[in-house]
Amino acid sequence: MTLTPVDWLVIAAYFALNLAIGVYYARRARGSTAEFFLSGRNVPWWLAGTSMVATTFAADTPLVVTGMVARNGIAGNWLWWNMAASGMLTVFVYARLWRRAGVMTDVEFAELRYSGKPAAFLRGFRALYLGIPINCIIIGWVNLAMMKILQVTLGLDATGALWALLAMLIFTAFYTSLAGLWGVLVTDLVQFALKMGMVVALAFFSVRAVGGLAALKIKVAALDAAAGAGSRLSFFPSADSAWMPAITLFVYLGVNWWASWYPGAEPGGGGYVAQRIFSAKDERHGLFATLWFNIAHYAVRPWPWILTALASIVLYPTLVDKESGYVRTLMDPQVFPPALRGIMLAAFAAAYMSTIGTQLNWGASYVVNDCYRRFLRRRARESEYVVVSQLVTIGLMVVSIYVTLHLASIEQAWKLLIVTGAGTGTVLLLRWFWWRINAWSEVSAMAVAAAVSLFLQLVLKWDGDQPRDFAHIMIVTVSVTTVAWLAVTWLTAPEPPATLQAFYARVRPHGPGWAPIAIGAGVTPAPGSLGRELLNALLGCVLICAALFGVGEILLRSVAVGLGLLAVSAAAAVAIARNLDHQKI
């Protein structure tokens, strides 16, 4: 891709705007760690929600979706669409509980819910484990994807791409450490608008290049027929398909979304999603932030990516690296106008920086709040914590560079880390609603899930990359882990009554699981009911799926059916609004 002086001017203007935002919020961020990590808990829902969406829109995301669609059709996206159910539970059941907890990080929750040395160990271990190795592997993965994009779009060799990446990473770390979460949030807003606008533009030009939507459908169907494969235009996997057998589909739709920990889709919420909830003005803003995030994440963003992916299949049918088809469309002057190349490259930079900025700030919050403040300097000045937060942000950047350079050697470890979270979801969900769960319940769930998963993969040689083996790993790990942590719960003492009563008084969870504690707590129950919240979560799934497939029907199938599905989505939204109004939210 050859860039003109105008293109470079556009890119420079984008970076200058991000720097200006960082400088503008720098003074506010220096005030306290509550400002640096939570923006003073004064963020409106639309800003917090948009920041979540921007974070999950990494530079490699459109490429991954393109690869899924090329290999397995539109239905390939069920690999991540299944997480919508977990998202809706977070919106309507857990978002307000997190906001009432009033903690700075989700791992701080351990010493709010539990007590003693087990709770302190759980908090410190999770903070270091998630904040440094897991976080830096995620950053390293995104770095590697951005290097690939830089090599393809700018024609750089590996060394040149690395230096360009380092410049972007250092710049992102600089404004993140300068402005804290306010800088991340506001730049996320700008970045999301830029990158979403450009992916829509790329989808438009890509579809136009193949002759329009009607021609796109005909040409994709012809390629499928010639290959003797199923239709890539299908929204659902075919019965017992090779890439998603029936047992694997069952695990995704019936088990994975609630049983397995995954960054950004943790059962019950967690990570940077919880951080945005903590930063919201109040419970209402926290709920609507997560609702907007899930609607945008699952129902708004996918179709521009999918349309470009389908067009790339038609335009470059012999391309070996299917994921690179997305980048190929924007490089092709017969597809994408050369005049927009600078803006598109800025959009890729935005996708990269929005994810990296969040990961750096979120990881630093764990290290500083849950390790440095908790175990090393409990009564230091806020100014000291802020300086340490800035230093840790830079430190995480340095560690992530090392991880990026050695990523090929730890790729298998990353795959193992994903699956070792299987089975912990039950305790993460139920710890809010059953008083009998204690710190050992959560510790045992983490230990047993990791041990069982590693045994199945390293000793029995079950391959998590194979659909059937993945399903078997999930089923066995979840089953054994659940039995283990329940046994540990009953074999160990419950948390002290004072700890349980203080937690209930602060969070006021619904349901019968806290009945013995509620009597002694002496507080008024929160408005609403668990049943109504679960109903809203179900309606939220209807809203998301009907909107997602309604848009898809209008674009690729039947306008009438699509409009009908959008009507169903609207009806679900109205029902949710009425339920929330009844609960005075």
Q: 41 and 34 in contact (C-beta within 8 Å)?
A: yes
Strand partners, 280: 43
pLDDT in tens, the chain (585 residues): 567 888 889 889 999 998 899 899 888 877 788 889 898 899 999 999 999 999 888 877 888 899 889 988 999 899 889 899 999 999 999 999 999 999 999 999 999 999 999 999 999 999 998 899 888 888 888 888 888 888 888 888 888 988 999 999 999 989 888 888 899 999 999 999 999 999 999 999 999 999 999 999 999 999 988 877 778 899 988 876 777 888 888 888 888 888 887 777 788 888 889 999 999 999 999 999 999 999 999 999 999 999 999 999 999 998 888 888 898 898 888 999 988 888 988 988 888 998 899 899 999 999 999 999 999 998 889 889 999 999 999 999 999 888 888 766 444 455 555 566 677 889 999 999 999 999 999 999 989 998 998 899 889 988 877 888 888 998 999 999 999 999 999 999 999 999 999 999 999 998 889 988 988 777 877 777 888 999 999 999 999 999 999 999 999 999 999 999 999 999 999 999 999 887 766
Cα 528 to Cα 572: distance, rounded to the nearest angstrom: 19
Distance from C-alpha of 517 to C-alpha of 520, rounded to nearest angstrom? 6
Q: Are 485 and 444 in contact (CB under 8 A)?
A: yes
Burial class (CB in 10 A: 0-12, 13-18, 19+), 413: exposed
Q: Is 272 exposed, middle or buried (0-12, 13-18, 19+ CB in 10 A)?
A: buried
Structural domain spans, the chain: 407-495, 527-585
Coil, strand or helix: which one is 260? strand
With tokens 């200058």, the residue in question is 16
Angstrom distance (rounded) from CA 47 to CA 29: 17
Task: Report the predicted TM-score, pTM, of the whole model to 2 decimal places.
Answer: 0.91
Q: What share of the chain is helix, strand, coil (3-state, %, to 5)?
A: 80, 0, 20
Please say whether the dihedral angle defined by the alpha carbons of residues 77, 540, 478 and 105, taken in this order, is positive or negative: positive
- Report the C-alpha dihedral over residues 75, 79, 80, 83, rounded to 10 degrees: 110
Give me the pLDDT at residue 137, please: 83
Nearest to 355 by CA among 98, 141, 127: 141
Three-class secondary structure of residue 274 per DSSP: helix
- DSSP for 484-533? HHHHHHHHSPPPPHHHHHHHHHHH---SGGGHHHHHHH--PPPSS-HHHH
How far does the chain reach from its first CA to its final CA, in angstroms? 51
* Residues 158 and 147: beta-carbon distance below 8 Å: yes
Instruction: Please choose, from the candidates 30, 392, 362, the residue with its C-alpha nearest in 3D space to the C-alpha of residue 178.
Output: 30
Phi and psi angles of residue 368, each rounded to the nearest 5 degrees, phi first: -80, -50
Residue type at 340?
L
Amino acid present at 563: L
Report DSSP state, residue 228. Answer: T
Distance CA 578, CA 67 (A): 41
How many residues does the structure list for the chain?
585
Name the token pair of 336: 């994408």
Residue holding tokens 């009564």? 379
CA atoms of 368 and 275, how far apart (whole Å): 14
What is residue 422's three-state secondary structure?
strand
Give me the sign of the Cα torsion angle 402, 405, 408, 414. Answer: positive
Residue-wise pLDDT tens digits, 411-447: 445 555 556 667 788 999 999 999 999 999 999 998 9
What is the tally of helices (H) and strands (E) in the chain? 28, 0
For tokens 């978002």, name the residue.
95
Helix (H/G/I), strand (E/B), else coil: 232: coil
Q: Directed axis angle between helix 135-154 and helix 382-405, to 10°?
A: 60
Q: How far is CA 492 from the centre of its chain?
A: 34
> How far is residue 502's CA from residue 112's CA, in Å, rounded to a whole number?
8
